[in-house]
Amino acid sequence: MDQPYDLVVRGGLVHDGLGSAPREADVAVKDGLIAAVGAVAGRGIEEIDARGQLVTPGFVDIHTHYDGQATWDQRMQPSSWHGVTTVVMGNCGVGFAPCRPEDHDRLVRLMEGVEDIPFPVLSQGLPWNWESYPDYLASLEKRRFDVDIGSQLPHAAVRVFVMGERGANREPATEADIAAMAKIAQGAAEAGALGFTTSRTLNHRTSDGQPTPTLTAGEDELTGIAMGLKAAGKGVLQFVSDFGDEDAEFAMLRRVVAASGRPMSFSLIQNPMRPQSYKSLLHAVEDANAAGLSIKAQVAARPVGVLLGLELTVNPFTHYPVYKEIAALSLEERVKALKDPDFRARLFASRPEDGIRGAGGGFVRMHLMSDQPDYEPTDATTVAHVALQTGADPQAVALDHMLSKGGRGMLYVPFLNYAEGSLDPAYAMINHKDAIPGLSDGGAHVGMICDGSFPTTMITHWTRDRTRGPRIPLEQVIRLQTRETARAVGLYDRGVLAPGYRADLNVIDYDNLTLHAPQVAYDLPAGGRRLIQRASGYTATVVAGQITYRDGTATDALPGRLVRGGKAAPLAAAAE
């Protein structure tokens, strides 16, 4: 045959996902799998000239919240703009299945509160053509996407489904309740759930301020559900916790893993209230793994930070009575009012009714976001510093920046992973042997946070651009967000460029890879608003052998499918 391959990527610098030194090679694809890596003589029906560029496995993002978006959209943007070829949703114990019809609004309010996805968007966007979790998977299986999608069983939905109002009110589960939840967990894993997730943090509340139903779930309940996965013989566990009593909480998580034998990951980030606690938690993870347990810390690529702006959920003046006079107006009308000298004078003279003056801890922590955002900013870009240097009122500096770009300027307040004003703690976490990248929350926090671009930050900041501390080798970063993230959720069939693996890959113009500033789009159901963020430098993204993006622009290909359950490595993987 003159064209024995579907696709050949020619002459790129191949990073295989194993952490090996890169090498110039061709990558040939046939029937959705990697067919050859090396000097490929045969031609492809389609070819990509990758000379001078990186060729990597597709990125696997294991911490997203596309549970709603996947039911109405085919493109899991912003993640798929950033080289992601597989997403895993259902994290933090929130999702939409199982769910009885009378509880639709309850789960929507929970997702609205926890993940900042507006009620009208979800109530109009969700088709609700399911009740059980297997029905939800069946609904997704009919759809086509630009990425592969894995789903996890959310604890809050299960608890409300089994316990009703008692579950929502966080009452203790009975033995019968736990048995019913365990049965659902077993059935979900057998139907294709990649795992089970829960939340034990006060930060997760419904839109009317109530704590998540899973906040105080007992160890007997968590163990019982995990034993449901054990009975199925498959599935991972994902936890988020405040770790208020750090030793007791981690000891409990450790016992759940020991009893069930199922791998676990949990969210780990530097808390400004306890800035050194991440170190002791990493030590605890080390001890657990040394004892033969499988526990990973999911860590973030940069600070978790709130974006403030006139188009967004909050801005520094949201709680000012004078601002509330115009809050319901259109953006254009508010911009006009905020440029009026008399209105500005009244606004600056007022004080907020509630909240913190200079949202997020004050103008000393509030940074002016530029067209090329800096996610390890110094004090020089804070509102307070700029005001001091220019002799201006900090309120005026903040407002004028938001008024730029027709009222679309944004302010950035890093509030987690940045207690010391640098990313040195994140560097320590990313480099820990028992840590994996996560926490991007792609698909969530649509009006305040835009972290679905974490995979691009991992490459640009940590391997190339960082100036305020050590960097991380490129081959290590690629291994972490391909092979390691895939394996953490049981997907051994992807994340590596070797024969027999899934043909998910990226061609990247590394020298010119650039992360752009977040923007607002109004493309959700009901005309809902969301933050999006693009990057340039992804020459091509390939899913299951089909090119889904060229230079950041979507093609017509939608090869992504629901991934049912973990996947074994190809036989060729024995050579690893």
514-539 pLDDT tens trace: 999 999 999 999 999 999 999 999 99
- Domain shared by 319 and 381, yes or no: yes
- Domain shared by 406 and 426, yes or no: no
> What is the reported pLDDT for 360?
40
> What is the reported pLDDT for 205?
86
347 falls within a domain:
yes
376 falls within a domain:
yes
358 falls within a domain:
yes
Q: Are 57 and 477 spatial neighbours (Cβ–Cβ below 8 Å)?
A: no
- Domain shared by 64 and 189, yes or no: yes
- For the stretch 376-421, pLDDT in tens is 999 999 999 999 999 999 999 999 999 999 999 999 999 999 999 9
Distance between CA atoms of residues 65 and 59, nearest Å:
16
- For the stretch 210-234, pLDDT in tens is 899 999 999 999 999 999 999 999 9
What integer is the mean pLDDT of 452-472? Answer: 98
What integer is the mean pLDDT of 533-550? Answer: 98
Cis omega before residue 98 (within 30°)? yes
- For the stretch 154-190, pLDDT in tens is 999 999 999 999 999 999 999 999 999 999 999 999 9
Q: Write down which residue in 488, 510, 534 finishes a domain.
A: 488
439 falls within a domain:
yes
Domain of residue 224, CATH code: 3.20.20.140
43 falls within a domain:
no
Lowest mean pLDDT among 45-49, 114-118, 163-167, 270-274: 114-118
> What is the reported pLDDT for 22?
98
Q: What residues are paired with 543 via a beta bridge?
A: 546
- Domain shared by 124 and 253, yes or no: yes
pLDDT reading at 575 higher than 70: no
**What percentage of the chain has pLDDT greater than the value 70?**
98
- For the stretch 106-130, pLDDT in tens is 999 999 988 889 999 999 999 999 9
Q: Which of 264, 359, 353 is nearest to 307 (CA)?
A: 359
- Domain shared by 221 and 361, yes or no: no
Summary mean pLDDT of the chain? 95
- Domain shared by 405 and 477, yes or no: no
- For the stretch 277-322, pLDDT in tens is 999 999 999 999 999 999 999 999 999 999 999 999 999 999 999 9
Q: Write down which residue in 442, 457, 488 finishes a domain.
A: 488
> What is the reported pLDDT for 572?
62
- Domain shared by 404 and 427, yes or no: no
Q: Are 43 and 2 spatial neighbours (Cβ–Cβ below 8 Å)?
A: yes
**Is residue 1 very low, low, confident or very high in pLDDT (cuts 50, 70, 90)?**
low
- Domain shared by 266 and 169, yes or no: yes
pLDDT reading at 574 higher than 60: no
Dihedral sign computed on CA atoms, order 234, 439, 139, 80: negative
- Domain shared by 296 and 315, yes or no: no
- For the stretch 336-368, pLDDT in tens is 999 999 999 999 999 887 644 444 448 999 999
- Domain shared by 236 and 123, yes or no: yes
Residue 371, classified by CB atoms within 10 Å of its CB into exposed (0-12), middle (13-18) or buried (19+), is exposed
Q: What is the largest CA-CA distance in the chain?
A: 78
Boundaries of domain holding 251: 60-303+418-488
**Which residue bears the tokens 């004080």?**
351
- Domain shared by 352 and 471, yes or no: no
171-194 b/e (C-beta count within 10 Å ≥ 16 → b): eebeeebbebbbebbbbbbbbbbb
> What is the reported pLDDT for 203?
85
Q: Which of 190, 174, 266, 179 is nearest to 229 (CA)?
A: 190
Contacts of 147 (CB under 8 A, 6+ apart): 76, 79, 80, 84, 85, 86, 87, 543, 548, 560
140-161 b/e (C-beta count within 10 Å ≥ 16 → b): beebebbbbbbbbbbbbbbbbb
